[in-house]
Amino acid sequence: MIPPGSTLGVLGGGQLGRMLAHAATRMGYRLHVFEPAERCPAGEVASREYNANYKDIERLREFAQSCAAVTYEFENIPVEPLWEIEKLVPLRPHWEVLEICQNRMREKKWLRKNGVPHVPFAEVEVGDDLAKAIKRIGLPCVVKTADFGYDGKGQLKVTEAADVEQAVVAFARERAVVEKFIDFKCELSVIVARNPQGEIRTFPVAENIHTKHILDFSIVPARIPSAVADRAGELAINIAESMTLEGILAVELFYTDDGELMVNEMAPRTHNSGHWTLDGCVTSQFEQQVRAVAGLPLGDTGRLAPASVMVDLLGDAWDWSDGQLVGSPAWGKLLEDPQVKLHLYGKQEPRLGRKMGHFTVTDSSPDKALNHARQLKSRLSERASAL
C-alpha cells in the first residue's frame, strides 16, 4: 500500500488529470503531472508539472523517480518510453494494457482471443486490399485507423458501393480496421477498478448519447433491463481480470437491437461517461483511481441519487473567451438549480469538439434527469446566442 502523504504521478495533463489531482490531494497525496504542453489543466492544480515530450527519456526518468506509482489520464502515449518508467516505479495499469487499448487492431484481436463478444471486423495492413476487406464485412461498415483514434477521429462510415473508393483513398497509407456497422438500442459503458491485491469493483452502467461522435449525455442508471446491466458488469470484470488490471478501465459497449452486448472500445483510464460519479456516487471514479493505483481498499460505488445525467460543454457550442463563456451566460441559471453541479476544466483555448467542462443533474428517475438536463442545456444555448 502506498499511504497518503506519498506522491503519485499521472501521464497526461487534461481534465481527467485535473480531476484526479483534486481527488488525490483531498486524500492527502501529492500529484505530479507529465504533459508536453505548458499550462495544462491538470498542472494548474497538481503539486508539480513536468513539461517535455513523452519520448524524452531523461525527463521521464526524473518524473518517475519523484513518484511512488504512475498512472494515465490519456492513452495516446508511446509505449517504448514506458519500459524505462516500469524499471523505476509501479506503472498502473501496466504498459501492456495501454498498448492493447491504444490500437484498435490489437484491441479487437485481444477481444477475439479472450472470447469477449465484439463487433465483427477485418484487419487491413498497409498495402492490403481495403476494398476486399469491406466486401468481406459487408455494407454498411465503418473503416477506422488502427492507431490513436478517439471521439470519432480517424474513421469513416461506408454505406454504399460509391463510398468504397473514398475509403480506399483515405486509408491508403494506414493500418486500418473494418468493422460491421451495428444497429443498436443504445451505447453503454462500465468503469471497472482493480487494485494490486485483486479486489475489483464496477460502477453502475451508464447509457451514453453521442452527437457527431462526441459524448453529449451520460444517463445513470442506464435504461436497460437489470439482467443486461448485470451482464455488462460481468463482462467488464472478466476483461479486468484477464488483463490482470491494476488501476481503472472504461469498457464501452453496444446493446444491439437483437438484445446482445458487444464490446466496442476500452480505455485504461477514467472516462468522460464516469464524470457523473463526482456528484452522484459514494466514491468518484477519480478517487477510485487513486485507491487502485495506491493499493488501497476500493471505495463503495453505490449511487447517492436515484438518477444522474452528465452533460458535456464543448468549445464549439458556445462563444468562449479565456476558458469562460463570453458574458458568463446562464452560469447563474445553472447554479441556481439545486440539482445541478457545474465543472469547468480551466482550458484557455476553445476548439471544435474540445471538452471545456460539464454539468451534472440529479433527479428522481433517469427520464426526469435527462429531460431536466436537456432543458438546462437548451436554456444555456439560448442565453449564449442572445449575447
What does the alpha-carbon distance between residue 140 and residue 319 come to, in Å, rounded to a whole number? 37
Residues 108-163: tens digit of each pLDDT: 999 999 999 999 999 999 989 999 999 999 999 999 998 865 655 688 999 999 89
C-alpha cell at 40: 495544462
| pLDDT in the model for residue 327 | 45
Residue with cell 477521429: 153
Q: Is residue 96 part of a domain?
A: no
Q: CB atoms < 10 A from the CB of 356, how many?
A: 25
What does the alpha-carbon distance between residue 202 and residue 192 come to, in Å, rounded to a whole number? 4
141 and 271 co-located in one domain: no
CATH number of the domain residue 154 falls in? 3.30.1490.20
Q: Is residue 249 part of a domain?
A: yes
Q: What angle do CA 191, 197, 200 make, to 5 degrees?
A: 25
Q: Is residue 199 part of a domain?
A: yes
279 and 154 co-located in one domain: no
174 and 306 co-located in one domain: no
Q: Is residue 301 part of a domain?
A: yes
- State which residues of the chain have pLDDT below 50: 323, 326-327, 387
134 and 246 co-located in one domain: no
Selection from 380, 379, 336 nearest residue 356 by Cα: 380
What does the alpha-carbon distance between residue 93 and residue 72 come to, in Å, rounded to a whole number? 8
Q: Based on the structure, what is the number of domains in the chain? A: 3
| pLDDT in the model for residue 148 | 65
Residues 180-236: tens digit of each pLDDT: 999 999 999 999 999 999 999 999 999 999 998 899 999 999 999 999 999 999 999
The parent domain of residue 33 ranges over: 7-91
| pLDDT in the model for residue 352 | 79
83 and 131 co-located in one domain: no
260 and 369 co-located in one domain: yes
| pLDDT in the model for residue 30 | 98
What does the alpha-carbon distance between residue 76 and residue 103 come to, in Å, rounded to a whole number? 9
228 and 241 co-located in one domain: yes
What does the alpha-carbon distance between residue 35 and residue 32 come to, in Å, rounded to a whole number? 10
359 and 264 co-located in one domain: yes
What does the alpha-carbon distance between residue 34 and residue 303 come to, in Å, rounded to a whole number? 33
146 and 46 co-located in one domain: no
User: In the listed set 180, 199, 222, which residue is the last one of a domain according to the structure?
Assistant: 180
